Amino acid sequence: MSRIGKKPVPVPSKVTATVTGQTVKMKGPKGELSFTAPADIKVEMTPAGISVQPRDETKKARAMWGMSRTMVANLVAGTTEGYTRTLEIQGVGFRAAMKGKDQLQLQIGFSHDVVHKIPAGIEVKVAGAKQEIIEISGTNKQLVGQVAADIRGYRPPEPYQGKGIRHKGEFIFRKEGKKK
């Protein structure tokens, strides 16, 4: 029995939700999002909110139950507040800059600048005195996390000096270098 799946997802007054078959659509102040539930899951609108139940007691249905409820809750949170990820760049001469509205230019120790194309629905801001903080925001939680992971993947933090791109608050296990 899923503890998460049992609770209905409350829909705030400023969000309009529609359920048609397996598809849930949310429209709020930040935008519009939709999610299509797996065939093993039954989604319905109730007075308490959006209820998610398994169609039968199979292992796959139970596995998808909590995930589907969380995806619907992410739609509500995305259309009301949105999601933000913050990345920090550490290293001498490492910096980021916006190139137009849809490209992020990174100087991260390579012989060339790395240019990352930003997908639609994602907003990126570069902040900090030395342009070392990147804020990625949007309504789709999965897309925001994927863009943050892609940018971090260009130069993950290395364990000896700690240089690279890291998530804000991420702990990097530091190693001791060679000794004579």
Domain with CATH 3.90.930.12 in the chain: 3-80, 83-167
CATH class of 3-80: alpha beta
Tokens, residue 68: 């589907």
How many Å apart are CA 164 and CA 92, to the nearest integer? 10
Q: Which CATH architecture has domain 83-167?
A: Alpha-Beta Complex (3.90)
Q: CA angle, corner 142, sides to 46 and 34, nearest 5?
A: 35
Cβ count near 117 (within 10 Å): 10
Query: Residue 167's pLDDT is what?
Result: 96
In tens digits, the chain (180 residues) has pLDDT values of 668 888 999 999 999 999 999 999 999 999 999 999 999 999 999 999 999 999 998 999 988 999 999 999 999 999 999 999 999 999 999 999 999 889 999 999 999 999 999 999 999 999 988 899 999 999 999 999 999 999 999 999 999 999 999 999 999 999 998 888
Cα 31 versus chain centre, distance: 15
Query: Residue 129's pLDDT is what?
Result: 86
How many Å apart are CA 164 and CA 3, to the nearest integer? 39
Cβ count near 106 (within 10 Å): 23
With CA atoms as reference, report the closest residue to 150 among 122, 169, 127: 122
Residue with tokens 């971090």, as numbered in its chain: 152
Which stretch of DSSP H or E encloses residue 128?
Answer: none
Query: Residue 33's pLDDT is what?
Result: 93
Query: Residue 152's pLDDT is what?
Result: 96
Residues in the chain: 180
Helix residue ranges per DSSP H, 81-170: 141-154
